[in-house]
Amino acid sequence: MVVELICVGTEILLGNIVNTNAAYLAEKCAGLGLSCYFQTVVGDNGERLAMVLKTAMERSDIVILSGGLGPTEDDLTKEVAAKVCGRALVMHEPSKERLAEFFEKRGTVPTENNWKQAMMPEGAIVLDNPNGTAPGAVIETETAKVVLLPGPPNELCPMFENSVEPYLKKLTNYVICSRTVKICGVGESKAETMVKDLIDSQTNPTIATYAKTGEVHIRVTASGDNEKAAGKLIKPVVKELKARFQNAVYTTEEDVTLEKAVSDLLVANNLTVTCAESCTGGLLSGRLVNVPGVSDVYKAGFVTYSNKAKRRFLGVKKTTLQKYGAVSQQIAEEMAKGAALFTKTDVAVAVTGIAGPDGGTEEKPVGLVYIACCVKGKTTVKKYQFSGNRAKIRESSVSAALCLMRSCILEYFSKVTFGKKD
Amino acid sequence: MVVELICVGTEILLGNIVNTNAAYLAEKCAGLGLSCYFQTVVGDNGERLAMVLKTAMERSDIVILSGGLGPTEDDLTKEVAAKVCGRALVMHEPSKERLAEFFEKRGTVPTENNWKQAMMPEGAIVLDNPNGTAPGAVIETETAKVVLLPGPPNELCPMFENSVEPYLKKLTNYVICSRTVKICGVGESKAETMVKDLIDSQTNPTIATYAKTGEVHIRVTASGDNEKAAGKLIKPVVKELKARFQNAVYTTEEDVTLEKAVSDLLVANNLTVTCAESCTGGLLSGRLVNVPGVSDVYKAGFVTYSNKAKRRFLGVKKTTLQKYGAVSQQIAEEMAKGAALFTKTDVAVAVTGIAGPDGGTEEKPVGLVYIACCVKGKTTVKKYQFSGNRAKIRESSVSAALCLMRSCILEYFSKVTFGKKD
């Protein structure tokens, strides 16, 4: 089956935002075994959107549109799609009720234009949006299925996963299964080189690598008559990948993130944890706290941005600061040890670095980051040199810290691999 | 003049990479005053690429293609473009020499397929590529100018800026300028309603609203003979927007984020700041530390996820916890006051809430968040009810906290508006 993506929004045409929705949807569709030949971006213009949608419906079985479902004048995707598909827009009472509830909960009075979000193309499958006000929809016509999704990624992604993915799975007469081997601590090029022979020699399953910040995801996708048949094709390849990447594989579960893997490891070993952050300024704690169950092991964390705060809250020595500077192996180590001591936790991780744009020197350039991890008194410090802007360096540091925590805990318990465990 | 973008590459269709080239080119073209109505992504497939290119050449004056100029079998953009434009490919001797030099310098012997990179459409303007092996080209036909650029961003961007931009500037006789009025603390629908009359009545400049988490951006875009003329059209509209939204406007500068506006306000008033976070778990500090200059005022912050941590580090009373629970107005207030006292800072902001998915009750549902802001001893607490998943609730809380900080500081100093200041 052939799918086509249409992203609607003048802000994409103006280059105000990067079209991450297209990349997300493309990856998801590829994972479902759908072929995608075209992606189009069109502005908030009815005539041009209609033209693009008609063309897409002629050449593809499924057309996924994102954006333009909101309450404003500009939002006209639903109106155009309904017209192109020959459907009237009618009030969808359950959506209207949900909208009313939404505003009541927030104690605000909806403006008149808000109600247009509850108007749905006649006969459409309405997709619930628990993360926003605009529901999605699927319009089934004789030539194509037209899927309408909201533009904000935090609404689009859950809606795709909860409603669209199960719907699309039912449409195909073969089953596509995929499994992702998630790796941390190995660079993209190295990971690619390590699996190139597999990529080149395989057609079913296919193998594709996806670079994420501080991580590489290797997706193994197979098609078969049923889930069991596809799964059977995937299994030996996943086994081979685990054998090649060993300890670097942190999960093969779709919904396990790196922070979840680390949190699980802490909870399973009954280890409490704290973070002491300088350049990351709270992002590491913030990412750990993404995991709902982390409260069992994570109680408190510190952002010690100034030297004074490092001394006062973590007991970092003035002489060490003077001798080596705040961005040094010694300070990272003292921060981690101090945090562990101060909070009486089993694991403490500390990050200190130069995120830029200023503050770099020839000796200590922007992107230099030290991360220390202390597990029950045993401290490991690693030096990193990241590239990119301030945000990118901080994001890379957080991923590296999670990766280091994981390997230090594994090492402490001398667990060989996740891979060999299951 | 109308420009259209075509990005060529199966890796984009598979979602392996995010299409940052499109965002880059779109922003550049908008800055040159070119209208862009369509962006298309197509794979490394000759037939489909030819189809897309023909359509683009019919409806646009300039077509910019990126990707597919390299030496491999997959790279066929130049071949297809030459064919669609009715040009033969001929060896371009200066490019051949440059290629030979390139390989000599690196001490490698080029494979046969490398030479195809020096084959150029007859009569094309060849664009030098100092950062790679594949030169770019402009093919001028009667209907459209077709610009061919290499795919790697580190080759595409310099080639665009050095060769394409000067070429395009000569083609246009007007410029486009835009300015964004950024607002916090007002919902998207309400903001839209407040400017609907302006949106409906204006064609130059145009006005468009963009919803962000906890913010609304209103973009005013004008075209004119020159920058001054376009700027003159924008000015009164921006003034009117400032008058309507008053204090809610936190900036009209393109590169000022909400956290930067708050940081600037703190620095300008010489106010030190700290954060005490429960459900946001460090994200608020993390976002403040996004701002490079924030170290002047932000020294330390706390993640007090457990009740024990709230008591130990912030001095929250056991009796208050028992009487009102951790998610309450009283605890938010004690957290902020305690943090201010403990760190001796002028401003302290505290966040406590239920981010879910578990932990909600009928009385205190998931999404309930209390934020307290203490400015020099005067504490304000606000109750919020956010919707969405855990990540969305936490992100909304961070934006709301920044917005509350800003309004509390402004109130403290009884500054009327940012808008009226400049």
In this structure, what DSSP letter does residue A20 have? Answer: H
State how far the Cα of A143 lies from the Cα of A137, in Å rounded to an integer.
Answer: 17
Q: Measured between CB atoms, which of A289, A300, A356 is closest to B309? A: A300
Q: What is the mean pLDDT of chain B?
A: 92
Q: How confident is the model over A302-320, as a mean pLDDT? A: 96
Those residues whose C-beta lies under 8 Å from the C-beta of residue B147, and which sit 6 or more positions away, are: B62, B63, B64, B65, B136, B137, B138, B164
B255 in contact with A, Cβ within 8 Å:
no
pTM to 2 decimals? 0.78
**Band of the pLDDT at A416, cuts 50, 70, 90?**
very low
- CB contacts of B30 in chain A (<8 Å) are 13-15
Nearest CA in chain A to B288: A281
Q: How confident is the model over A215-219, as a mean pLDDT? A: 89
- CB contacts of A18 in chain B (<8 Å) are 18-20, 23
Q: Are B278 and B304 in contact (CB under 8 A)?
A: yes
State how far the Cα of B309 lies from the Cα of B317, in Å rounded to an integer.
Answer: 11
The complex's ipTM works out to 0.78
Phi, psi (rounded to 5 degrees) for A198:
-70, -45
Phi, psi (rounded to 5 degrees) for A376:
45, 50
- Please name the amino acid found at residue B180: T
Q: What is the pLDDT of residues A133-191, one digit of tens each?
A: 899 999 999 999 999 999 999 899 999 999 999 999 888 777 778 899 999 998 877 88
Those residues whose C-beta lies under 8 Å from the C-beta of residue B210, and which sit 6 or more positions away, are: A11, A16, B216, B217, B218, B219
Give the DSSP letter string of B173-239: S-EEEEEEEEEESS-HHHHHHHHHHHHHH-SSSEEEEEEETTEEEEEEEEEESSHHHHHHHHHHHHH
Helix, coil or strand: residue A370? strand
Q: Is the peptide bond before B236 cis (omega within 30 degrees of 0)?
A: no
Q: What is the pLDDT of residues A82-139, one digit of tens each?
A: 999 999 999 999 999 999 988 888 788 888 888 999 999 999 999 999 888 899 999 9
B388 in contact with A, Cβ within 8 Å:
yes
Q: What is the pLDDT of residues A250-290, one digit of tens each?
A: 999 988 999 999 999 999 999 999 999 999 999 999 999 99
In this structure, what DSSP letter does residue B165 have? Answer: H
CB-CB under 8 Å, B210 with A16? yes
More confident residue, A406 or A421: A406
- Beta strand A273-277 with A347-353 is parallel
Helix, coil or strand: residue A246? helix
- Domain coordinates in residue numbering, chain B: 2-171, 175-251, 258-412
In this structure, what DSSP letter does residue B303 have? Answer: E
* Best CATH choice for the domain B175-251 from the list 3.30.70.2860, 3.40.50.11540, 3.40.50.1100, 3.30.1360.70: 3.30.70.2860
B262 in contact with A, Cβ within 8 Å:
no
Give the A window 4-63 contacts with B, CB below 8 Å: 10-20, 22-30, 36-45, 48, 52
Phi, psi (rounded to 5 degrees) for A333:
-65, -45
Given a cut of 60, whether residue B420 has pLDDT beyond it is: no
- Please name the amino acid found at residue A386: F
CB-CB under 8 Å, A12 with B39? yes
> Dihedral sign, CA of B94, B98, B99, B104?
positive
- Encoded tokens for A217: 């995801």
CB-CB under 8 Å, A283 with B306? no
Helix axes B188-201, B227-245, angle to 10 degrees: 140
Give the A window 94-123 contacts with B, CB below 8 Å: 102, 105-108, 110-114
Measure Cα distances from B370 to B30, B287, B367, B379 in Å. Answer: 42, 19, 10, 13
- CB contacts of B367 in chain A (<8 Å) are 105
- CB contacts of A38 in chain B (<8 Å) are 13, 40-42, 48, 52
Minimal CA separation from B212 to chain A, in Å:
8
Q: What pLDDT, on the 0 to 100 scale, is given for residue B206?
A: 86
Q: Measured between CB atoms, which of B40, B178, B209 is closest to A72? A: B209
Which among B131, B119, B114 has a CA at the least distance from the CA of B93? B119
State how far the Cα of B389 lies from the Cα of A131, in Å rounded to an integer.
Answer: 6
State how far the Cα of A393 lies from the Cα of A290, in Å rounded to an integer.
Answer: 20
Superfamily name and number for A2-171: MoaB/Mog-like domain (3.40.980.10)
- Best of B6, B41, B198 to disrupt the A interface (most A CBs within 10 Å) is B41
A354 in contact with B, Cβ within 8 Å:
no
Q: Are A230 and A178 in contact (CB under 8 A)?
A: no
Minimal CA separation from B415 to chain A, in Å:
27
Nearest CA in chain B to A98: B387
Residue whose token pair is 């008194």: A377
Given a cut of 80, whether residue B107 has pLDDT beyond it is: no
- Best of B223, B299, B303 to disrupt the A interface (most A CBs within 10 Å) is B303
Q: What is the pLDDT of residues B240-284, one digit of tens each?
A: 999 999 999 999 998 899 999 999 999 999 999 999 999 999 999
B284 in contact with A, Cβ within 8 Å:
yes
Given a cut of 80, whether residue A218 has pLDDT beyond it is: yes
Considering the domain A258-412 in this protein, what is its CATH number? Answer: 3.90.950.20
Give the DSSP letter string of B105-145: HHT-PPPGGGGGGGEEETTPEEE--TTSS--EEEEE-SS-E
Nearest CA in chain A to B296: A306
CB-CB under 8 Å, A15 with B24? yes
Q: Is the peptide bond before B357 cis (omega within 30 degrees of 0)?
A: yes
Q: Measured between CB atoms, which of B19, B29, B37 is closest to A43? A: B37
- CB contacts of A45 in chain B (<8 Å) are 37
Those residues whose C-beta lies under 8 Å from the C-beta of residue B414, and which sit 6 or more positions away, are: none
Minimal CA separation from A38 to chain B, in Å:
5
Given a cut of 60, whether residue A415 has pLDDT beyond it is: no
Given a cut of 60, whether residue B421 has pLDDT beyond it is: no
Q: What is the pLDDT of residues B300-338, one digit of tens each?
A: 999 999 999 999 999 999 999 999 999 999 999 999 999
> For a pLDDT cut of 90, what percent of chain B falls above it?
73
Minimal CA separation from A244 to chain B, in Å:
22
State how far the Cα of A290 lies from the Cα of A279, in Å rounded to an integer.
Answer: 20
Minimal CA separation from A379 to chain B, in Å:
22
